[in-house]
Amino acid sequence: MKNIAQYIKYFLCGVVFGTANVIPGVSGGTMLVIFGIFDRLTEAVSGVKKIIKNLPFLITFALGAGAGILVSAKVISSMFEMFGVQTNMFFIGLILGGIPLIYKIGTSEKKVKPLCIVPFIIAMAVVIGLSVLDRLKIFSLGIESEITGFDIVFTIKIMLCAAIAAITMIIPGISGSFVMMLLGVYETVIGAIEDLNLWVLVPFAISAVIGIMLGAKLISMLINKNRLMVYSALMGLVVGSVYAILPEGFGFNLSTGYGFVCLIFGVIVSVLIEKIGKTDTADTSKN
């Protein structure tokens, strides 16, 4: 029963990870940290031997992520159109509910030092800065296009963009879909998911897997070298991401009032999922 509960958690975390990476401004990596499987995933894909050893976990997580992406691509856009403020605030609740867990994991080996404030502030400033630049519409790096057949130039572009976005998908506080918007391929990919356009999805998926593996290996290496400083930076990214997804309609109005209810629900969901996988940190050290 214990193993079944853990694999249910892995699947649910995959669903949240996939869903989060469809929403600009929401970080799938943040959700991994919040739900306590960030270290587990980065270690699991850090080498061929590790991948083989953790195959059941990776398959379960990947199935959840795939389900989350497919469903959210069809549902999320309409949710944001009808309940934009409430949907954003639910995700803010998920983030806030997981902050104590991030602190606990980051300080599991050493206590916080005054120097930790430096990576925290830098990381938070990066996320908030990217968000401000996006809202000012300073970036415009590509043109969305509809692909119905093989195009070598587009294929190379989509693979490069996928690799960059995939690396950011696993970094807490950085939204992979936000990066795709900056690169000008977001609407193309979302449209391809809705239409099951393999000319776009196949090269994107191949490059995304490679990007996630490279990103995970880098992050795993950094955590092993200086866990406390890395998690200080991750905490800054997470806190900064709250501002990044703050809804445009936020204010003293009825929508925001309902939004706070959704925020509280998000906090509760975050805490419950943490409870389900309470033993996961111990499992990570064994792997």
- Alpha-carbon dihedral of residues 171, 174, 180, 182, nearest 10 degrees? -140
Long-range residue pairs from 115-118, CB within 8 A, at least 24 positions apart, any chain:
115/229, 116/228, 116/229, 116/232, 117/232, 118/232
Q: What percent of the chain has pLDDT over 90?
A: 8
- Pick the more confident residue, 181 or 103: 103
SS (H, E, C) 99-145: HHHHHHHHCCCCCCCHHHHHHHHHHHHHHHHHHHHHHCCCCCCCCCC
> Which tens digit of pLDDT belongs to each residue from 172-213?
666 677 678 767 677 788 878 877 888 888 898 899 888 888
What number is the average pLDDT over the span 50-70?
A: 90
Q: DSSP alpha helices (H): ranges in 2-54? A: 2-20, 28-34, 38-44, 48-53
> Which tens digit of pLDDT belongs to each residue from 125-179?
987 887 787 777 665 444 445 666 676 877 888 888 888 888 778 776 666 776 7
State the Cα–Cα distance between residues 147 and 124, nearest whole angstrom. Answer: 37
Domain membership of residue 247 as a residue range: 2-286
- Residue 141 has what pLDDT? 46
Does residue 14 register a pLDDT over 80?
A: yes
Q: How far apart are the first and last CA of the chain?
A: 20
- Residue 117 has what pLDDT? 93
How many folded domains does the chain comprise? 1
Question: What mean pLDDT value characterizes the chain?
Answer: 78
Q: DSSP alpha helices (H): ranges in the chain? A: 2-20, 28-34, 38-44, 48-53, 55-106, 117-135, 152-169, 176-183, 186-195, 198-225, 227-244, 254-276, 280-286
Q: What percent of the chain has pLDDT over 70?
A: 83
- Residue 274 has what pLDDT? 65
